Structure 1
Amino acid sequence: MMKFSCEKALLQNAINVASRTVAQKSSIPALEGLLLHAENDLTISGYNMQTGIRTRLSADVTEQGELVLNARLFGDIIRKMPDDVITFSADDRQLVHLSCGDADFDILGLSAADYPELPEVEDDYCVSIQQKILRAMIEQTSFAVSTNESRPVHTGALFEINDKGLTMVAVDGFRLAIRKEPLEKIEGGAFSFVTPGSALNEVQKICEDTEDLAEITLGRRHILFEVGDTQLICRRLEGEFLDYKNAIPRKNPITLIADTRALITSIDRVSVVISDKLKSPVRCTFDHDKVLLSAKTGNGEAKDICRLSGDGGGLEIGFNNRYLMDALRFAPADTVKIELNTGVSPAIIVPVDGEENFLYMVLPVRLKAAD
């Protein structure tokens, strides 16, 4: 038995959030559903055995209870309801009656007993950070998370927390991204863990552009992200993450300062002749106060010049156009410092001055002899 009423907009929003972690196809029918739990208010959960989202919304509960509804069907019904108060009632055979304005639906639910428990997360280590900062940090590193399953630990991002703040690191064998920010409060001392990239994409979506805090709690096998009325629980990735501090060469003789937008525009311009079928590195020749960019494929040849400050001494180096562009696009700065060494050493992109709150490393592509 279960009975409640609530605003359509609130319910639809909660369904959208929790549905993100519902299994698309599962041998357990309940996992293709959302768990509704009505007590003082209403909690809706979605869980695919890897990541779970639980979100709470205010509802007028007249009979407490819980049951599971098919996520797609329930979501479609609520979305098509008129914008008004929805009343929900379920009997002891899981028959559900939904009404709103003149619209009525009767559907069949599943017993909540069939729904796997979301993992409990012990709260030995906990940290708080503004939602908008966490969201930005995820966006500015997660593009470099690996999709190669042969090194599972790199399909996630490393979180390192100590008294200096939070450092996030992502690496995929071709590039590396690091973001650092100070923290509001930290409990339990320094700690680190790796969060799956798929879960981070969901955390990014549930973080609002607000200074309200998000809390991250580290359990023995799981991580809990609490954002407002929503909790996301995911499994930690185990394994040895790259020793990134030793993987980044910082004794680079060439230092150049670039306008981020201008350089992106130039790379984008010469990338016109590059396609999935016709690949080519972008050849960069770093000269005095400028870089000459070119790309050549069966489509044709493109060249451009971008002004920089500094002297590259004629260094020629090739890059995957997308990898270099991503690093520049996600760098949170209008101007960046680019450090270079040889034609086979990585490019390092860091802030021009002040705290190094970001670092991007892009590995070069070997160039064939000049045509």
Structure 2
Amino acid sequence: MRFIIQRDHLVQSVQDVMKAVTSRTTIPILTGIKIVATEEGVTLTGSDSDISIESFIPKEEDDKEIVEIKQPGAIVLQARFFSEMVKKLPSDFVEIEVQNHLQTVIRSGNSEFDLIGLDAEEYPQLPQIEEENVFRIPTDLLKAMIRQTSFAVSTSETRPILTGVNWKVENNELYCIATDSHRLALRKAKIEMETPANYNVVIPGKSLNELSKILADNNEQIEIVITENQVLFKAKHLLFFSRLLEGNYPDTSRLIPNESKTEIVLHTKEFLHAIDRASLLAREGKNNVVKFSTIGDGVLEISSNTPEVGKVVEELKGVSVDGEELKISFSAKYMMDALKAIEGNEIKILFTGAMRPFVIYPINDDSTLQLILPVRTY
């Protein structure tokens, strides 16, 4: 194998596939990046058996040559050394040549590295996915849906299913739901489907966060294929496979209250900053709790008290406050996470009592919902 490639394209592809490579694998060859050169271009693959990423660098793009293939072939190179090396190469072009016994020479400018490669035949095959039911979604919408839900997954392995995001597809709508049993984030959106189909799967939160990092910020359509135990995301020159989590996701629809006793409308940023200030003294406590109460005339009080540190009290004027008087306590961190995930200048919060979950919506938008369980302090 021998080819010459533009360094910038190589660096970008290596960075993308590195997101799937881990040093903590029981399969030694997976600590490497597989490089395959064909007449069409160069394909790089990284995998940790949960996530697999394949990045393709075409021979030319927009009539500019990116790769010059001298001899097709394949090799697996140690990811850690190879990724550091390509970032630091001196010239705009890199030549990679595999000589006998998998000895690989990497040349750039006056620099030359020798790496001992591994046999590409021994690299595990990527999952073969039948592309029967494909659905499409704009990349920027997918990234927004991941951002607005994946933060709420559980970080505890005691219930592995909750470390993932529940994706449900029905009636040409995609629902993304995440919960760690103390809070819940939901986002839904219309999708394009060639043949209507229903799905109910759980994708690891970690996979979705890694996917979001490598997708470009544009509104190009991304294709999604779901099978029994894998999901495939297809973007331009990029394939991203993730395994699905096994097990049944809890029915979260029962958690969402359909009535309210107190309804409050607030400016999102004002409320976020007030909670942020109140949390400064709450952080010392174990659970980062702030208290929130109505005090009449549309005014709300946000307070926090840590006996050994001090207390903070702040009044905030609501856009509107309707219904019963309210005193409730909740995690400042959960509230700030929820507010950051909501797009919109104003939010509506629906309360059904001091110990019942409450729901936060952006005004005039029912595609996003955040739910938080209160903390007993009063």
What TM-score bracket applies, with the shorter chain setting the length? Answer: over 0.9
Structure 2: runs of 5 or more not aligned: 59-66
Task: Establish whether residue 207 from structure 1 lines up as the match of residue 215 from structure 2.
Answer: yes
Give the deviation of 1:130 after TM superposition: 0.4
Task: Establish whether residue 38 from structure 1 lines up as the match of residue 37 from structure 2.
Answer: yes
Give the deviation of 1:277 after TM superposition: 5.4
Q: How many angstroms apart in 2 are the aligned matches of 1:33 and 1:303? A: 55
Query: Normalised by the size of structure 2, how large is the TM-score?
Result: 0.93
Task: Establish whether residue 151 from structure 1 lines up as the match of residue 159 from structure 2.
Answer: yes
Give the deviation of 1:279 after TM superposition: 4.2
Between the two proteins, the alignment pairs up a number of residues equal to 366
Q: How many angstroms apart in 2 are the aligned matches of 1:283 and 1:138? A: 29
2:317 corresponds, among 302, 307, 310, to: 307
Structure 1: runs of 5 or more not aligned: none
Give the deviation of 1:76 after TM superposition: 1.2
Give the deviation of 1:249 after TM superposition: 0.9
Superposed CA deviations along residues 291-346 of structure 1, whole A, max 9, x for unmatched, are: 10111112110111121111354310000110011111111111111000111011
Amino acid at match of 2:375: V
Amino acid at match of 1:319: F
Superposed CA deviations along residues 257-297 of structure 1, whole A, max 9, x for unmatched, are: 11110000110111111225554410111243121011111
SS at match of 2:33: strand
Amino acid at match of 2:338: A
Q: How many angstroms apart in 2 are the aligned matches of 1:312 and 1:100? A: 70
Q: How many angstroms apart in 2 are the aligned matches of 1:341 and 1:53? A: 45
Q: Structure 1 residues 278 and 170, CA, compared in 2 at 3 Å: closer, same or farther?
A: closer
- After TM superposition, the structure 1 = structure 2 runs for residues 1-371 of structure 1, keeping only pairs within 5 Å, are 2-39=1-38, 40-58=40-58, 59-275=67-283, 279-288=287-296, 289-297=298-306, 298-308=308-318, 309-311=320-322, 313-353=324-364, 355-368=365-378
Q: Structure 1 residues 44 and 265, CA, compared in 2 at 3 Å: closer, same or farther?
A: same
Matched with 2:62 is none
Of all paired residues, the percent bearing the same amino acid is 30
Superposed CA deviations along residues 210-230 of structure 1, whole A, max 9, x for unmatched, are: 110111101121110112211
Give the deviation of 1:194 after TM superposition: 1.1
Q: How many angstroms apart in 2 are the aligned matches of 1:227 and 1:45? A: 15
8 Å contact from structure 1 (residues 318, 366) kept in 2:
yes
8 Å contact from structure 1 (residues 206, 227) kept in 2:
no
Give the deviation of 1:187 after TM superposition: 3.3
Give the deviation of 1:351 after TM superposition: 2.6
Superposed CA deviations along residues 46-92 of structure 1, whole A, max 9, x for unmatched, are: 11111111110122222111110000100111111024111111023
Query: Normalised by the size of structure 1, how large is the TM-score?
Result: 0.95
8 Å contact from structure 1 (residues 3, 90) kept in 2:
yes
Q: How many angstroms apart in 2 are the aligned matches of 1:277 and 1:292? A: 20
8 Å contact from structure 2 (residues 139, 221) kept in 1:
yes
Give the deviation of 1:124 after TM superposition: 3.1
Give structure 1 regions of 4+ aligned residues with deviation exceeding 6 angstroms.
none
Amino acid at match of 1:47: S
Which is worse superposed, 257-266 or 101-110? 101-110
Q: How many angstroms apart in 2 are the aligned matches of 1:277 and 1:10? A: 48
Q: How many angstroms apart in 2 are the aligned matches of 1:201 and 1:209? A: 14
8 Å contact from structure 1 (residues 292, 303) kept in 2:
yes
Amino acid at match of 1:261: K
Q: How many angstroms apart in 1 are the aligned matches of 2:2 and 2:299? A: 69
Q: How many angstroms apart in 2 are the aligned matches of 1:265 and 1:90? A: 57
8 Å contact from structure 1 (residues 126, 188) kept in 2:
no
Q: How many angstroms apart in 2 are the aligned matches of 1:358 and 1:278? A: 30
8 Å contact from structure 1 (residues 8, 78) kept in 2:
yes
SS at match of 2:344: coil
Amino acid at match of 1:20: K
CA RMSD of aligned residues (A): 1.5
